[in-house]
Amino acid sequence: MHELSIALNILDIVQEECRKADSATVTEVVIRVGTLSGVDTQALTTCLHVASRETLMQDACIRIDRQQGRGFCAGCQQEFDMEDILTPCPECYQPATDLREGQEMLIESIIVD
Ligand SMILES: [Zn+2]
């Protein structure tokens, strides 16, 4: 399960940051997930809640920001919004020739107490 390994990875990073900040509680974690990253945000939220039980992160508010994906069509020379990896060009209905934004999955901020 892809999302569980991502959740465990996030938890590792958050715990490491807590150690550095010499802090015992995480109050908020904001994660940015692009619509083209292939990450299921619903599944990720569930996995994060499960993975963070009995850790520094168990009472943290976990927020997931979705980053709009953008693709480029070489035929029409234009950029367009993509809801997922299969969203075609709105002009010619061809798949995007290039993905410009929305492939990232990163921790945007960690607030500790
Ligand atoms: Zn096009």
> Where do the domains of the chain lie?
2-112
CA of 67 to the centre of ligand 1 (A): 22
CA of 1 to the centre of ligand 1 (A): 34
The pTM score is 0.85
CA of 36 to the centre of ligand 1 (A): 18
Band of the pLDDT at 1, cuts 50, 70, 90? Answer: low
CA of 96 to the centre of ligand 1 (A): 8
CA of 112 to the centre of ligand 1 (A): 46
pLDDT, tens digit, 9 for 90 and up, residues 12-27: 999 999 999 998 899 9
CA distance 50 to 16: 19
C-alpha distance from residue 51 to each of 12, 58, 102 (Å): 10, 9, 25
Band of the pLDDT at 113, cuts 50, 70, 90? Answer: confident
Mean pLDDT of 79-91: 96
Fold of 2-112: hypothetical protein PF0899 fold (3.30.2320)
Whether the pLDDT of residue 71 is over 90: the answer is yes
